[in-house]
Amino acid sequence: MSTHYETLSAADTYREAFAVAPPEALGERHLWPRKPGFFIVHAATAAAIAQPPAAPAVDADASAAADVEATEPNTDRVLVPAQWGLVPHWVKSASDAKLRATKLVNAKSDTASTGTAFRDAWLRGQRCIVPMTAFYEDDLRNGSKAVPTRVARVDGKPMGVAGLWARWQGADGEVIISYCLLTVNANNHALLHRYGQPGSEKSMPAILNEGAYDAWLTARPEKAKEFMRQYAAQWLTANPVEKKADKVPKGLLG
């Protein structure tokens, strides 16, 4: 399960690949938990994140109450700066938020609708797209030393990964906008089954097809899991990288 990914290296790529205005500053090239990154939503959602409307809490049978009506896609997409590592809205304090965020960078798609940390975001339709150039997995097949491996598209184009976002506000008014990546099982994936701890469940980010971006953002919660599919192995390439003492792969500095 990846806890490191690579952001886009050129501002123009945001507009060309995702139809969003690029950020004023690209930010860090290599992302780890609790680092500031970006996610993509439609403009109406971005406005709601900034100024959320009053909404009832999701109850035990929230699938109907929190349903999101699918409408004609709004192609006015917006890039939102946020922390990688979800902070659920019910977290009590900023210190608790920091502890939880490092463990909530990935959500298994098969349990996102029922797991305590991600359930509300899934049922409320708080879905997003996380733009990235590559993600990293550890190759542990040759002994105890992990070899970081960079996984990217064969054609070099950026990937849009399905994600969930959350807005947390503390008693003192502090606000944390955060997100996580959604993952799918990769036990039988021709490429990604090689990585991660031996004997453990293998997973990979839920990479979306470009034509499905707006559909993913507007789908009803009960339809959202239809987008949770493996990305074809022949469209991906994996290359081992050496690491410097500061843990940034050689030759990949942004």
pLDDT digits (tens, 9 = 90+) for 84-126: 999 999 999 999 999 999 999 999 999 999 999 999 999 999 9
Q: Cα Rg for the chain, rounded, in angstroms?
A: 18
166 pLDDT tier (thresholds 50, 70, 90): very high
Model pTM score: 0.87
Q: What are the backbone dihedrals phi and psi of residue 127, each rounded to the nearest 5 degrees, phi first?
A: -100, 150
**CATH number of residue 137's parent domain:** 3.90.1680.10
The answer to whether residue 32 is domain-embedded is yes
The answer to whether residue 218 is domain-embedded is yes
E strand segments, 97-158: 106-108, 127-132, 134-139, 147-153
Which residue, among 95, 79, 109, has the nearest Cα to 180 in the 3D structure?
109
Alpha helices in 51-93 (DSSP H): 62-65
The answer to whether residue 58 is domain-embedded is no
Tokens of 114: 């029922």
Give the dihedral sign, CA 225/230/232/236: positive
CA separation, residue 144 to residues 128, 186, 242, 246 (Å): 36, 22, 16, 20
Give the dihedral sign, CA 25/74/82/226: negative
The answer to whether residue 124 is domain-embedded is yes
What does the pLDDT read at residue 2? 83
For 4-48, the pLDDT digits (tens) are: 999 999 999 999 999 999 999 999 999 999 999 999 999 999 998
The answer to whether residue 174 is domain-embedded is yes
Question: Which domain range does residue 93 map to?
Answer: 5-52+64-240
The answer to whether residue 17 is domain-embedded is yes
64 pLDDT tier (thresholds 50, 70, 90): very low
Q: What is the DSSP letter of 153?
A: E
Out of 124-128, 143-147, 197-201, the most confident range is 124-128
Q: What stretch of H or E contains 37?
A: strand 36-42
Tally of domains within the chain? 1
Alpha helices in 138-209 (DSSP H): none
Which residue, among 146, 149, 150, 157, has the nearest Cα to 134 in the 3D structure?
150
Out of 71-85, 197-211, 231-245, the most confident range is 197-211
The answer to whether residue 249 is domain-embedded is no
Tokens of 80: 């939102």
Q: Average of pLDDT values for 229-240?
A: 96
**Residue 72: pLDDT over 60:** no
Which residue, among 124, 141, 130, has the nearest Cα to 195 in the 3D structure?
141
